Amino acid sequence: MRIGAEVERRLRDAGVAHPRAMLLRIFKEERTLETWVAPAGEGPFVHLGDHSVCATSGGPGPKGRRGDGQVPEGVYRIVALNPWSRFHLSLRVDYPNAADRARNPGVPAAELGGDIYIHGNCVTIGCIPIGDAAIEEVYLLAQETRAGGGEVRVLILPARPGGPRWSRIVERGTPAEVSLWRSLEALSARLDRSHRWSPVQIRRDGTYAAD
């Protein structure tokens, strides 16, 4: 791919020549995807840069049904890289995960939806498109991380905690949504404070907690 040498240079400049962990933090309202990399699984992570999410669907709130157009919210993993995507390149997110299933008891897994990707191009129904140039960089970083035995995690929030959009969203959310958002806010704040990522536990109500 065209930008392999540029990605290598940026990693060297960040002091993480060989990433063994990668975290993508996404703020839906701000349409921002942050890339973090680390030389080991729990960090410390380095904020490598940001990309714009160039199209979106749905609104604040987690995905809960097939066809609802919502972008998921929660903590996920990248489970596959697709170099033959219709949208240039794509990274598959493991939605629905155990937290999504816990928040929707009795709903068959097939009804929760799926096929959620971070991909190129600028069209979406529930996915996260960042354009072709940006997905090339993110894809190469993910490929390098996984080749070294590392994991790519994804943290998706409805908005950036502490900002005006966050406050409005929390004020209008249901109790279940607010509980989820507060748990994601705590994980996000921990990343900002320590630049580390601890293993995450899923509570019975489908919210998250760090070990």
Model pTM score: 0.96
Q: What is the pLDDT of residue 177?
A: 98
How far is Cα 58 from Cα 62, in angstroms, rounded to an integer?
10
For residue 144, what are its two tokens?
């390098």
What fold characterizes domain 4-210? L,D-transpeptidase catalytic domain-like (2.40.440)
Q: What is the pLDDT of residues 11-63, one digit of tens each?
A: 998 999 889 999 999 999 999 999 999 998 888 999 999 999 999 999 999 99
For residue 196, what are its two tokens?
């580390």
Burial 24-54 (b: 16+ CB within 10 A, else e): bbbbbbbebbbbbbbbeeebebbebeebebb
Query: Above 60 in pLDDT, residue 2?
Result: no
Strand, helix or coil at 148? coil
For residue 90, what are its two tokens?
């794509």
Q: What is the pLDDT of residues 65-76, one digit of tens each?
A: 999 999 999 999
Structural domain boundaries of the chain?
4-210
Strand, helix or coil at 45? coil
